[in-house]
Structure 1
Amino acid sequence: MKECTAFIRITRYRKSVYTLFMTDYSDQTDESLALLSATDHDAFGALVGRYEQKLYRYVRRITDVNHEECEDILQETFLKSYRYLHNFDPSLSFSSWMYRIAHNETISHFRKRSVRPKIIREEDGNTYLQNVAADLDITADIDRETLQRQIQDVLDSLGPKYKDVLILRYLEEKSYQEISDILKIPVKTVGTRINRAKKQLRHIIAGHDMNIRS
C-alpha cells in the first residue's frame, strides 16, 4: 500500500521528470492504457497526466473544498483507480469510470463535513449560462448577473441529485449515457432530472421576456 501511494505521488507531482523519460502513449486510447497499466507504471502515469486537470476541475465544481483538500481527494481517486484497475471493464468508457471514482470520493469527503456546494462557481458562470442557453435555444440579451443569481436559487432548491446531473451535463459536457455510467443511475432517470431542472429554468427565463423555441 505504501509503495502504491508513493508511486501515485511521484506520478502526479513529478510529471516533468516522468515526461522526459516516459514512452510516448499519445496514440493509445485510455482503455488501452488502463490494460497496459497492470504491468507498465508509465502507462498509468500517462493516464494521470490526461485526467489530473479534468478531475481537479470537476471536484472543485461539486464541492467547496480548498486546493489542498481537492489534492487529497485526487490522491485518493488515483490511488483507488490504480488499486482497482483489474476491475475495469474495457468495454466501458474509462473516462466515466474515472469520473465515477472521483465523484464518490468527493461525496464521501463532503459528507463528513456536512457541506454541499453551490452549483455555479464564479469562474464557471459564463460557460454554464452559455451551455444552458444553447440547450434551451434562447434568443435574447441576458442580464447575466441577475439571471445567474436566479438560476442559482432554483438549482439550490432542486437538491444534490439534480445538481450532479446538471454539472456533468452543462459544465463537463457529458452525454446522458456517460452521466448514467458516472452516477450509476438509469439513462431515463438522467433525462428526467435534467428535464425537471430545465422546466424550472424555462420558467425563470420566461420571466426575462426571452424567446425560447421548443
Structure 2
Amino acid sequence: MKKYSVSDSKLISQYKNGNEEAFELLLTRHKSRIFTSIYLIVKDQYIAEDLLQETFIKVVNTIKNGKYNEEGKFLPWVMRIAHNLSIDHFRKAKRYPTIVMEDGTNVFNTLEFSEESFETQQIRKETHKKLRNLIKELPATQKEVLIMRHYMQMSFQEIADATGVSINTALGRMRYALINLRKKMHKYNIAYDQNIYPK
C-alpha cells in the first residue's frame, strides 16, 4: 500500500530512469478510470480496450521521447489523449449520420445507398464529404458535441459526463454548432433539404 503514496510525477521520473515497474503502477492506478471514460464514448468493450491500449502506447512513446511535460497533471493529460483517440475513432469510421438542424429539418434523407441510382449515391457521398469538411472547421467544443451526438448517438447527459460540463453547456454547444454549420452550408450552397438534390 505504501507504493500508492508515491506521486504520479515521481513514478514517471522512475520510469524515465528505466524502472518499468513504476509505469505498471501508474497503469494499475488509473486504468479503470481511463477505460470508463473511453467506454462512455464508444459504448463497446472491445473497442474501448483497443483504445485504452492505444492510449498507453501513445503515453509510453511521449514519455520515452522526452516530450512529456505535464508535471503533476498526469491523469488529466492521459484522459485528454484517451478522449481524443475515442473521438478520432468515430471520425475514421466515416459514418453517415442524419443531422437535424435547430429548426427541425434534416441535413440528409437517410435512404440506404443500395436503393438509390449510382448518380444519386455519388451526389450523396460528395455532400457527406463536404459536410465532414465543414464540421472540421467548427470550434473544437462544438465539433466534439456534434460528433458525439450525431455520429455516436450519445445522449446529452452522456456528452456532459464525457466532456465534464453541465447538460446546459452541452446543449448550448450543440445549438451553436448547428447554427454555425447551417451558415457554412448556406455559404457553400450545400443543400440540406432532400428535395433540393440535383437530379
TM-score by length of 2: 0.48
Q: Which has the larger radius of gyration?
A: 2
